[in-house]
Homo-oligomer: A and B are copies of this chain.
Amino acid sequence: MMSCDIDNLGFARVDLQRKARQGIGEVIYGEGKSAGQIIAILKSLDAHSQRPALVTRLDSEKASIVKASFGEDFSYFPVARFARLGEAKKSDGLGFVAVVCGGTSDIAVAEEAALTLEALGNEVKRIYDVGVAGLHRLLACEKELKEAKVIIAVAGMEGALPSVIGGLVHSPIIAVPTSVGYGASFGGVSALLAMLNSCASGVAVVNIDNGFGAGILASKINHIR
């Protein structure tokens, strides 16, 4: 019966059936929710054995309030503003996922992807600060890129990274534009458009700064059977 599958907290209807339906339980988007609301939803998920439970876009202030409720079981990763209640799943994917980013400032988004992947049972290789204007740094990692089952390519500014990687490898590539840049980067639009227009085939794109979404999708691909 449907009513058992939804935990109606008043301000939110926690979707307890989602794991069965979509393979991954409900994840809490932290921005715009109070620490109290986050705790309530986490408790509801926890009460229904939905560990690990994830929170994204969680600032450090709210994170410490939430941690006070759950203690050691609750891990917070400040660079990615990401939290996890319970242990990450054991790695059980087809292979590893490479998370690649162009510059130092893209690391926050790349980490959101990497931590999501690890929580969901994927081995991750991080290849950071290998932007296309220093091609040899990227080419030095060609072997690892070729071995990855899936690649997440994170870049701001001109967003060329997925196109260049796309020309080197077999695997599916998920491109993540970041809001890194200024002026005519328009908060990530420039990178987004470049990625959508990639001349390399086999590239798909998620929303600006959406490391989490890229991680989910990569995990689904890496667990396909």
Contacts and interface: CB of A to CB of B under 8 A. Distances in A.
Given A166-B133, A193-B193, A199-B102, A204 B160 contact: no
Given A163-B160, A205-B196, A217-B172, A15 B182 contact: no
Interface string A50-70: 000000000000000000000
A64 to B, nearest CB: 20
A177 B212 CA distance: 22
By CB atoms of chain B within 10 A, which of A164, A188, A207 has the most?
A207
Given A12-B129, A37-B104, A131-B199, 17 more contacts: A6-B140, A11-B129, A21-B169, A22-B200, A22-B202, A132-B132, A135-B168, A157-B197, A171-B220, A172-B224, A183-B197, A184-B188, A184-B189, A190-B194, A190-B196, A201-B212, A204-B214
Interface of A: 2-3, 5-6, 11-13, 15, 17-18, 21-24, 27, 29, 31-33, 37, 94, 102-105, 107, 128-137, 140, 149-150, 156-160, 163-164, 166-172, 174, 177, 179-210, 212-214, 216-217, 220-221, 224-225
